[in-house]
Chains A and B, each alone.
Chain A
Amino acid sequence: MLQTAQRSAKSKTKKAAPLHERFLEAFRWMLLARTLEEKLVSLYRGGLITGGVYIGKGQEAISVACGLFLQKGDIFAPLIRDQAGRSAFGEPLLDVTRTYLGSRLGPMRGRDGNIHRGHPRKNELAMISHLGAMISVTVGALLAKRFKGEKNFVGLASIGEGGMQTGSFHEGMNIAAVEQVPLVVVATNNHYAYSTPNDREFACHDLVDRALGYGFEGYSLDGTDLAACLDVIGSAVKRARAGRPPQLVVASVLRLSGHGEHDDASYVTEEIKQQPFARDCLKVAEQTIIDLNLSDAETLAEWRKHAAAQVDEAIASAQKEPAPEGDKEDWCALSTRDLVDSFE
């Protein structure tokens, strides 16, 4: 029996305690992601990053919860705004700075940039731009694990409400349910797909209602509330791991940046900025820490300093590294070298 369980964030949010250790851990990943991305933005503004910079400001609470509950052997398919989740999943900061700064030593070696990075051998899938495409890829990875007789694994794929409107996403959700793989899809409705507001993206009452149609179990989430994110996403991961049907979590936030750093987001209305979902999850989480006395101001300042130092180090190392060079590149798209076509 599949049911769409819609719960309001309020009714199920037990404020932080007794899980405050996890809350603080999550907060530190969020802080690291925010610190890193702020730094990337300033490098971009200074002309030191080629291409775009896409940040997850305002979505760190959701993202960190996506990475935090995954274990060794689990699959993570992050998307555009998942710095916090990638870090929590285990992506080294150096991967990020090397990719953004175009180091030859990074995982993408200058062949791809910014958010289009990953470590498929470590189960962090490298997204392609085409939204929706990574859902079925995650399904396939899980199917393979089942074929191989592995146990106790899950996969988690991110998507935005914009990407949810692609045919690829729909096909991926359907095939996930047909295959009954242990998949969690975390959809973040940040109320804009680039400049397009929700009313030109979809016309259903609530995106979480779609869970029922796909054969998923669905949950709604206030993405500005870290405790709720940890609870709802953590529980979804647990249910998937326990063999429940695939899980859809739809989180609500506002994107607190442009689509990318080239975008001033002047289309975001003043009205929407006043909505409860427009709160900054990092500030809300920090307030919770102070209100509940989970940590003190000194420790918070210490964490901030530590995050900045880590980021500075990752940037400084990547900046010292060699850039890729056209005449040293092997220009070979196949792994089977003797099957490479030769063009003269």
Chain B
Amino acid sequence: MSITYLEAIREAQAKLLRDDERVFIYGQDVGGTFGGAFKATKGLAKEFPGRVLNTPISEDAIVGTAIGAAMQGMRPIVEMQFADFSSIALNQILNNAGTHHWRTGMPVPITVRLPSGGTKGSGPFHSQSMESIYAHYPGLIVMTPATVEDAYTMLIEAVAIDDPVIYCEHKYLYYHLKADKLPEKGLPTGRARIAREGRDLTIVSYSAMVQESLAAAEELAREGFEVEVVDLRTVKPLDTDTVLASVARTGRLLCVGESFPWGGATAEVIARVTSQGFHLLDAAPQRLNAKDTPIPYHPNLWSAHRPNAQHIATKARALLRE
């Protein structure tokens, strides 16, 4: 048997609906026989009548409704059709869900699924990675699974958490990643994973960039470099300890993210390592992000805009030579 990242997300939701009557799925085109723009909810409306509900194109109201339902004890899963459209729901997510426990003492357990990141031909409005915006605001947990196994266990974990969770699922990984079977249990939320061991350089990454970083590490291995790859798994909370321990082994740090370069998760990692582990570094830490332009449509431009294994390997080589 082989199961894709996308199927893992569907399976996790099926399990959640089966095991927990508080769970319902709310989003555009998720219901009926359609099962979502990417088919992440395919068949679920039929299997769980009345619990997988199509909504109007109203991202603000979709999340607002989920918040109200969560206050009454439900565990809603919201599917955004694309992460990009969650900008319309920013107010509800950041100002309502994100502040609620702090203000009132009552947490709001919603899970918002964001089909994120670039695929060829998707252009400026169907390719964005929004984790850094959500991580910037207090009161939210931001998950960025990079493997089929994590896609499954982290989504189950997201719904179990009493606080709002932004679950960034990568569209490129939907079909490209496969696993033999789904695990019962994953690492605890908030714990990073060493995706590949090495002693010459640490690459810290998350989501689809973990796969690109692993490919770069493979390429560098042929040149005799042993690169360690850390998969953050959640960008908030950020597992600084695992990152620092890795940098302590390698002395060199490269952070790779697919989102825009100003600020963000990669900058946060570098800020923490330089302030808490400056003495561990043998060279100035580096980072690699997408370019500071909207995400281009044409495949030629798109593959130059977003970091890939070649870009990462080039950047890593320069850092290894320092």
A residues whose Cβ falls under 8 Å from a Cβ of B: 75, 107-108, 111-112, 116, 118-121, 125-126, 128-130, 133-145, 147-148, 167-168, 171-172, 174-175, 178-179, 332-336, 338-342, 344
Contact = CB atoms under 8 A, between A and B. Distances in A.
Contacts of B105: 107
A141 B69 contact: yes
Contacts of A121: 106
Contact of A139 (B24, B61, B272, B275): B61
Interface residues of B, number: 50
Contact of B91 (A130, A142, A338): A130
Contact of B95 (A120, A128, A139, A175): A128
Given A107-B104, A128-B95, A144-B74, A338 B67 contact: no
A338 B190 contact: yes
B259 interface: no
B162 interface: yes
Contact of A175 (B24, B61, B91): B61
Contacts of B240: 342
B58 interface: yes
Contacts of B141: 334, 336, 339
Contacts of A342: 237, 240
B68 A142 contact: yes
Given A136-B92, A175-B55, A175-B56, A334 B72 contact: no
Given A133-B96, A341-B236, A144 B69 contact: yes
Contacts of B60: 133, 136, 167-168, 171-172
Contact of A148 (B72, B106, B138, B162): B72
A146 B88 CA distance: 27
A333 B161 contact: no
Contacts of A134: 64
B70 interface: yes
B133 interface: no
A112 B102 CA distance: 9
Contacts of A118: 104
A98 to B, nearest CB: 14
Nearest to B98: A333
B101 interface: yes
A164 to B, nearest CB: 15
B107 A335 contact: yes
Nearest to B50: A147
A334 B137 CA distance: 12
A342 B76 CA distance: 28
B276 interface: yes
Contact of B101 (A108, A147, A335): A335
Interface string B168-183: 0000000000000000
Contacts of B59: 171
Nearest to B271: A343
A140 B68 contact: yes
B146 to A, nearest CB: 19
B189 A339 contact: yes
B119 to A, nearest CB: 28
A126 B69 contact: no
B99 A136 contact: no
B73 interface: yes
Contacts of B68: 75, 125, 136-144
B104 A120 contact: yes
B70 A140 contact: yes
Given A172-B61, A174-B58, A175-B58, A140 B67 contact: yes
B144 to A, nearest CB: 14
Contact of B69 (A130, A143, A340): A143
Contacts of B106: 120-121
Contacts of B103: 108, 111-112, 116, 126
A137 B71 CA distance: 9
A144 B101 CA distance: 19
A333 B139 contact: yes
Contacts of B99: 128, 333
A141 B64 contact: no
Interface in B261-278: 272, 275-276
A340 B92 CA distance: 21
B286 interface: no
A275 B49 CA distance: 54
B66 interface: yes
A336 B102 CA distance: 12
Contacts of A119: 104
A133 B104 CA distance: 17
B238 A341 contact: yes
28 contacts: A108-B103, A108-B104, A111-B102, A111-B103, A112-B103, A120-B106, A128-B95, A130-B96, A137-B65, A137-B67, A140-B72, A140-B76, A147-B74, A148-B73, A148-B74, A168-B91, A171-B64, A172-B61, A174-B58, A175-B56, A332-B102, A333-B101, A333-B139, A334-B101, A334-B141, A339-B163, A339-B237, A344-B276
A139 B72 CA distance: 11
A174 B56 contact: yes
